[in-house]
Amino acid sequence: MTSKRIARVRQELRNLRLDAFLVTALPHVRYLTGFSGTNGLSLITPRRHLFFSDSRYKRQAQAEVHGATHHITQRELIDEAGRTAAGRTPVRIGFEAAHCTVMQHRLLRKSAGKSTLVPTTGVMEQIVAVKERDEVSAITRALRISERVLDHLLPMIRPGVSELDLAAEISYQHKRFGADGDAFPPLVASGARSAFPHAKPTGNRIRSGQIVLLDFGCSINGYNSDMTRTVVVGRVPAGVRKMYSAVLEARDRAIDAIRPGIRASVIDGVARRVLDARGLGELFVHSLGHGVGLSVHERPRISSLSSETLESGYVVTIEPGVYRPGVGGIRIEDIVCLTRRGSRVLTKAGRTLLVV
């Protein structure tokens, strides 16, 4: 499997006329090598695949990294890799522009000598966006765990419980049910704060009649789940059911329309038109979705500004939402896998408004 991935990178080297390519984003390093540590780098040439790390990870690399020559160094990794890539003859060295700090670039410039540095954009992002069967399986397993956590959590959502209580329970239950950990810090927002799309949990205690917005996911072997559900405690406030119905219709229409070959902006537009027709368009303040895999947010971005065309093998979120100031927010987020025949919804959790 790893050899196929390296072959795809080498094809990009030929397309860009590169002699070497430095991969510095840790999710991309993991994709190519299996390395799950926090300090690693890959160097790919037409004939070699080298992995760089420091002495803390020597044994871990021996256990996890296959198909690459190991270089354990005391130098800065990008310095050592730059020296190795440059060799004795000037070459063209590509690097991930979006994942290289100013300091790293200075070190690379110095170590590369007379070689030419070529900033690249989107090379690895495009490769990792197309998921293999085992990757889809890992994402699905992570989703099943998050869905179990939701079922466990619902009886706990009641007046007097704080947002922080619920967030802590999500993190604990993710690990209890077998996840490596959270995919990202759980988002729990109640009442008017649920109108903040990415509100961090606070000590605020839930009251009857409030909306509670839950957005969380977990990680399995580096692959992530991502799911949002909306809960109402006690009596449902006036107008909330209509808002929820509109968001659910936007979600359904977008998923009915999504397939390989369609532009991401078109799918965003499908959902947005539903909410516009319900008079809620101005309350939909973010894009419709994003890719998910080794990173929670990957290509493609499903938004009105996206120029991407969706491909078979993409795994994406569909998450329309509306956020009314002073009332609260409603969002439904599911994960969808694009297939040659269309699409398949990976999320199995129910989509009716949850009232506890």
Q: Looking at 40-44, 87-91, 178-182, which range is the least confident one?
A: 87-91
d(CA 125, CA 174): 27
Q: Is the pLDDT of residue 2 over 90?
A: no
d(CA 151, CA 128): 31
Write the pLDDT tens digit of every residue in 127-165: 999 999 999 999 999 999 999 999 999 999 999 999 999
Write the pLDDT tens digit of every residue in 205-219: 999 999 999 999 999
Q: Is the pLDDT of residue 87 over 90?
A: no
d(CA 352, CA 188): 19
Percent of the chain with pLDDT over 70: 100
d(CA 68, CA 55): 17
- Please name each of the domains of the chain with its CATH number: 2-127 (3.40.350.10), 133-355 (3.90.230.10)
Q: Is the pLDDT of residue 222 over 80?
A: yes
Burial string for 297-310 (b: 16+ CB within 10 Å, else e) reads ebbbbbbeebebeb
What one-character-per-residue DSSP string does 299-335 give?
A: EEEESTT---B--TT-EEEE--EEEETTTEEEE-BEE
Q: Is the pLDDT of residue 175 over 90?
A: yes
Average pLDDT (319-335) is: 97
* Residue 279 region by backbone torsions, left for phi larger than 0, else alpha for psi between -120 and 50, else beta: left
Q: Tell me the average pLDDT of the chain.
A: 96
Residue 1's pLDDT is: 63
Q: Is the pLDDT of residue 88 over 90?
A: no
| Closest alpha carbon to 148 in 352, 351, 318, 348 | 348
Structure tokens, 258:
């999504």
Residue 313's pLDDT is: 98
Q: 22 phi and psi, to 5 degrees?
A: -100, 125
Whether the pTM exceeds 0.75: the reply is yes
How many angstroms separate the Cα of 197 from the Cα of each of 44, 284, 289?
Answer: 40, 10, 13
Residue 237's pLDDT is: 87
Write the pLDDT tens digit of every residue in 35-74: 999 999 999 999 999 999 999 999 999 999 999 999 999 9
